[in-house]
Amino acid sequence: MLTDLTIAEARDGLRAKTFSAVELTTAHLDAIEALNPRLNAYITVTHAGALEQARAADAALAAGTQRALTGIPLAIKDLFCTEGVRTTAGSKMLGPFVPPYESTVTAQLLRDGAVFLGKANLDEFAMGSSNMTSAFGPVESPWKRRQDETAVLVPGGSSGGSAAAVSARLAMGATGTDTGGSIRQPASYCGLVGMKPTYGRCSRFGVVAFASSLDHPGPFARTVRDTAILLGSMAGHDPKDSTSAFLPVPDFEAACARGVKGLRIGVPREYRADGMPSEIEALWQQGLDWLRAAGAEVVDVSLPHTRYGLATYYIVAPAEASSNLARYDGVRFGLRHDGEDLRDLYERTRAEGFGAEVRRRVLIGTYVLSAGYYDAYYLRAQKIRALIRKDYTEAFTKVDALLTPTAPSAAFAQGENMDDPIKMYLNDVFTVPANLAGVPAVSVPAGLDSNGLPLGLQVIGKPFDEETLFAVAGAIEQAAGFDAVPQVRAGGK
Amino acid sequence: MSLDHATVRRIASLARIRVEEHEVETLRTELNSILGWIEQLNEVDIEGIAPLAGAADTAQPMRADVVTDGGYVEKILANAPERIGDFYAVPKVVE
């Protein structure tokens, strides 16, 4: 099936004219038509636009002017502004919003010939770990528990639609954003590779802002190599983002096969969370064994402030969100709810436009930034953030990369962890520290739990050393031989 | 620090989010639960630590202070919920 190919295989097939870009795109659009009503992975499907881009790709292939992603069908998280295509951020607030411009990351993917199948579902404003907070309904994970195929599981979040689409073969790859784990946790839940690159590697221009100092655009794919191909196109300096790094983009794809011989891999002892399932602990040890067998040296390291990462995050992220989301006022774009006067218009618009989780975070953020509380909460959190980053800087004087589990559990069912916001936040305990420090991290599928659900391992690296992460992830991928497929997929049942 | 009813109202007002009277108590409980959990940060010794606002190491670049873009009145107003001519329209703010 065309939908089962990797991006690298499809690239070769297109160049060899084994199939056309229109055929490849049509196969994905057909799969979307069949499965999206159930999975709800896409909020908007851009059927006509995708076919038009596929025809242009075929023309480029015929003319020999193809680029890195010519004809490759992708899903775009509905947080990236796409010119002329509705961009909702999963919120009622942006339900009617059609951006008049293109985000830098998506512009670069288009420059390289990619085909956009549509806009992928997500937690509202990327705030969530389950895709349950989307105003456009939850996403169903294509994966099922072996013992209970009726339970509807979450794909993780916030990039849940992206992960479900790539996993179910409704796209060959996808863009996501990761503010506290929103690429890596859904990648782990859905058996995918997902990378949060270094802060500044991918431009944030045109990405609907959640927490600007923590937001990282990044790719999802089914293999390490495909993920590297996508990042190569998405990354690069952008004068429109003042935090974009002025650095050349390395050949990420070449790094995937580099191997780990001679690398020093750190095991942060603080990641042994209380109550971690023994299966996850065992998989972690297995991962270390694989890397040892491939020639790496495993070293114990300490990240003493890791345990404060999550609480620090829940001050910094809401604070930045409360500021960023102040722009939704019902005046310039998006939803408006009329009121008696301007202030009433603001308050009614924001009450109607924001869902419960977004409202909670805006209120927390407003409180921690308010007069009299700023020093006790926000300033203290910024200082602890400095300590967390210092832990990584010190660890990376001893090791080349760190290996940890990606998430403390496999995917849970819709409705679980919904009774208490903190329970939901705990999903991100292993992923959040890398956002606070800005260091790159990748989740790679490493095995299945006893329910048959995917579990990922996370590799964390030095700033701007994604190449080592691809090398380590490549070694894990090769050793793990992960070939499980979800029950719900194109061409499946 | 535990939020009372009036503080929840004050925060909502600062955030410009209308909160109905019957929602205040639930919100108060939720926010207090989150803030109570965050209290664990008080055990960290932060003496002499400089705050870190962001993860970008690179110096903020300077650019020439010139107009490089603009002139898209129609594009920008295309998303306006209400417009009058080339302006956003809002309820009257000055009597």
- Asked if residue A79 has pLDDT above 90, the reply is yes
A312 sits in which H/E element: helix A309-324
Give the residue among A313, A300, A296, A311 at the shortest CA–CA distance from A272.
A300
Which chain A residue has its CA at the smallest distance from B76's CA? A100
- Quick check: B38 and A366 CB within 8 A? no
Q: Which residues of B touch A350 (CB under 8 A)?
A: 15-18
Contacts of A82 (CB under 8 A, 6+ apart): A76, A99, A102, A103, A106, A116, A119
| B34 interfacial to chain A (CB closer than 8 Å) | yes
C-alpha distance from B40 to closest chain A C-alpha (Å): 8
Instruction: Report yes or no: B88 at the A interface, CB cutoff 8 Å.
Output: yes
Which A residues, 280 through 309, put their C-beta within 8 Å of a C-beta on chain B?
Answer: 305, 308
What's the burial of A302, exposed, middle or buried (CB within 10 Å: 0-12/13-18/19+)? middle
* pLDDT for residue A276: 84
CB atoms inside a 10 Å sphere around CB A17: 10
Tokens of A151: 């339970």
Per-residue confidence (pLDDT) for residue A423, from 0 to 100? 80
Residue A242 has pLDDT above 70, yes or no: yes
Q: Rg for chain A (alpha carbons), in Å?
A: 21
DSSP one-letter code for A18: S
Which amino acid belongs to residue A382? Q
Nearest residue to A315 (alpha-carbon basis) of A376, A377, A267, A261 = A377
Q: Average model confidence (pLDDT) for chain B?
A: 92
A158 is catalytic: yes
- Look at residue A469 in the predicted model and tell me its pLDDT: 98
Supply the pLDDT for residue A104. Answer: 98
Q: Do A366 and B14 touch (CB under 8 A)?
A: yes
A295 secondary structure, DSSP code: T
Does the structure show a pLDDT above 80 at B95?
no
pLDDT value at position A419?
82
Cβ contact (<8 Å) for B79 and A333?
yes
Angle between the A356-369 and B24-38 helix axes, to the nearest 10 degrees?
60
Instruction: Report the half-sphere exposure of A167 (CA within 13 A, side-chain side).
Output: 35
Q: Of A77, A135, A147, A46, which Cα lies nearest the Cα of A354?
A: A135
Angle at A473 between CA A160 and CA A428, to 5 degrees: 40
User: What is the value of ipTM here, to two decimals?
Assistant: 0.95
Say yes or no for a CB contact (<8 Å) between A332 and B79.
yes
* Closest residue on chain A to B59 (Cα): A243
Q: What is the mean pLDDT of residues A475-484?
A: 98
CA distance A66 to chain B (A): 30
The pLDDT assigned to A57 comes to: 98
For A123, how many CA atoms within 13 A lie in the half-sphere containing its CB?
28
SS3 of residue A144 by DSSP? coil
Q: How far apart are the C-alpha atoms of A443 and A280, rounded to whole Å?
A: 14
- What local confidence, expressed as pLDDT, does residue B24 receive? 97
Q: Collect all residues with Cβ–Cβ distance below 8 Å to A369 and sequence separation of at least 6.
A: A319, A322, A323, A378
What's the rounded Cα separation, in Å, for the pair A212 and A209? 6
Nearest CA in chain B to A213: B54
Kindly indicate the confidence band of residue A432, based on its pLDDT and cuts at 50, 70 and 90.
Answer: very high
DSSP class per residue in B6-68: HHHHHHHHHTT----GGGHHHHHHHHHHHHHHHGGGGGS--TTPPP---S--SPPPP---S--
What integer best gives the mean pLDDT of chain A?
96
Interface membership of A370 toward B (CB under 8 Å): yes
Q: Which of A91, A103, A129, A182 is catalytic?
A: A182
**Tens digit of each residue's pLDDT (9 = 90 or more) over A349-402:** 999 999 999 999 999 999 999 999 999 999 999 999 999 999 999 999 999 999
Distance between A408 CA and the closest CA of chain B, angstroms: 19
Has residue A480 got a pLDDT over 80?
yes
* pLDDT for the residue A421: 83
Examine the pLDDT at B58 and tell me if it is beyond 70.
no
A201: which residues sit within 8 A by CB, 6+ positions away? A216, A231, A235, A245, A247, A440, A464, A466
Q: Smallest Cβ distance to A100: which of B1, B18, B75? A: B75
> Does the pLDDT at position B61 exceed 80?
no
Treating both helix axes as pointing N-terminal to C-terminal, what angle do A7-15 and A47-63 enclose, rounded to 10 degrees?
Answer: 50
Closest CA to A144 of A448, A415, A450, A452: A452
Q: How many CB pairs under 8 A join A and B?
A: 169
Pairwise CB contact (< 8 Å): A360 & B27: yes
Q: Report whether A304 contacts A384 (CB < 8 A).
A: no
Active site residue A77: yes
- Tell me the pTM: 0.97
Mean pLDDT score, A272-288: 90
Q: Using the predicted structure, report yes or no on whether residue B59 has a pLDDT greater than 80.
A: no
- Name the nearest CA neighbour of A71 among A125, A143, A23: A23
Whether B3 and A315 lie within 8 Å, measured CB to CB: no
- Tens digits of per-residue pLDDT, A168-226? 999 999 999 999 999 999 999 999 999 999 999 999 999 999 999 999 999 999 999 99
Q: Pull the structure tokens for residue A58.
A: 């075929």
B58/A245 CB distance under 8 A: yes
Residue A109's region, left for phi above 0, alpha for psi from -120 to 50, else beta, is alpha
Q: Which residues of B touch A380 (CB under 8 A)?
A: 41-42, 44, 46
Q: Is A334's Cβ below 8 Å from some Cβ in B?
A: yes
A 189-208 residues with CB below 8 A of B? 199-200
3 state SS of A350: helix
Closest of A452, A455, A478, A473 to residue A406, by C-alpha: A455
Residues of B in contact with A339 (CB under 8 A): 91
Q: pLDDT grade, residue A50 (50/70/90)?
A: very high
Give the Å distances, CA to CA, from A271 to A325, A358, A381, A402, A414: 33, 29, 20, 11, 26
Contact A386 B27 (CB under 8 A): no
Q: Does residue A493 register a pLDDT over 60?
A: no
One of A158, A159, A203, A443 is an active-site residue; which one? A158
Mean pLDDT, range A242-249, rounded to an integer: 94
Is A463 touching B (CB cutoff 8 A)? yes
Contact A267, A287 (CB under 8 A): no
Q: Which residues of A touch B3 (CB under 8 A)?
A: 367
Is A443 tagged catalytic? no
pLDDT digits (tens, 9 = 90+) for A462-473: 999 999 999 999
Give the pLDDT score at A318: 98
Interchain contact A418–B (C-beta under 8 A): no
Confidence of residue A417 (pLDDT cuts 50, 70, 90): confident
CA A286 – CA A272 distance, rounded (Å): 15
Q: Which of residues 52-81 of B touch A (CB under 8 A)?
A: 52-58, 60-61, 63, 72, 75-76, 78-81
